[in-house]
Amino acid sequence: MLLENLNVQLFHLINAPITASPLDIHFGIFMANDTLYLLIFSLLIAWFLGRYSTKALVLKAVVTTVIALLIGYLVSLIYPHPRPFVVETGQTLIAHAATASFPSNHMLIFSSIALCYLFAKQVKLGLALLVLAIMVAWARIYVGVHFPFDMLGALIIAFLTNLMIQQLWPRFQQPIMDIALKIYHYFFAFLLNKGIIR
């Protein structure tokens, strides 16, 4: 109960107050929802325009994220923690299904990708993505759909998943990339032949 009380107290420190300005609310909603689309768009651009090593890192980040999300889903089945609005605490600024709160899928996605780039020694980009992940974590709490420990749990799962993938990836990168590139060349042959994408 001590940890749960701390979780709720931290939530109320971060969650949007009744006196929040429209600018703060719009920024919180943008960070909580729209940054995910920007991240996906950036990964697609990196894949379509990047060289082999760039594509391999994008694919590694995606594989890591998918595994982290799967682990997170299993954790949510074992520990179905309710969201703040389900227990009627704080202010909720966006609509959300009453699914399990722990761990945060958004944080799993952002932190898995950020840590993947850090593990690959892409330090500047990895740190930038990690800062973005922290901002998204703040925003998801600010708009009232997550507790702080949902973010911490997601970060731990993302870190452990990256540790595991870091050990396995050298063995499986080539066959996974071969399959991915065959599919890519099959569907985008025209654009590739025209030199529009790489």
Map out the domains of the chain as residue ranges: 23-183
Q: What angle (nearest 5°) sits at the alpha carbon of residue 113, between those of residues 124 and 93?
A: 105
Give the whole-angstrom CA distance, residue 91 versus residue 93.
6
Query: Model confidence at 2, in pLDDT bands (50, 70, 90)?
Result: confident
Q: What angle (nearest 5°) sits at the alpha carbon of residue 46, between those of residues 41 and 153?
A: 65
What number is the average pLDDT over the span 115-137?
97
- pLDDT tens digit sequence for 4-44: 999 999 999 999 999 999 999 999 999 999 999 999 999 99
Q: What SS3 state is found at 157?
A: helix
What number is the average pLDDT over the span 110-125?
97
What is the separation, in whole angstroms, between the first and last Cα of the chain? 54
Q: What SS3 state is found at 96?
A: coil
Looking up tokens 């932190």 gives 111
Give the whole-angstrom CA distance, residue 49 versus residue 52.
10
| Residue-level pLDDT at 188 | 96
Query: Model confidence at 45, in pLDDT bands (50, 70, 90)?
Result: very high
Query: Model confidence at 1, in pLDDT bands (50, 70, 90)?
Result: confident
Quote the DSSP letter at residue 92. -
- pLDDT tens digit sequence for 135-161: 999 999 999 999 999 999 999 999 999
What is the pTM for the complete model shown?
Answer: 0.94
- pLDDT tens digit sequence for 83-117: 999 999 999 999 999 999 999 999 999 999 999 99
Mean of per-residue pLDDT scores for the chain: 96
Quote the DSSP letter at residue 51. -
Cβ–Cβ < 8 Å for 102, 150: yes
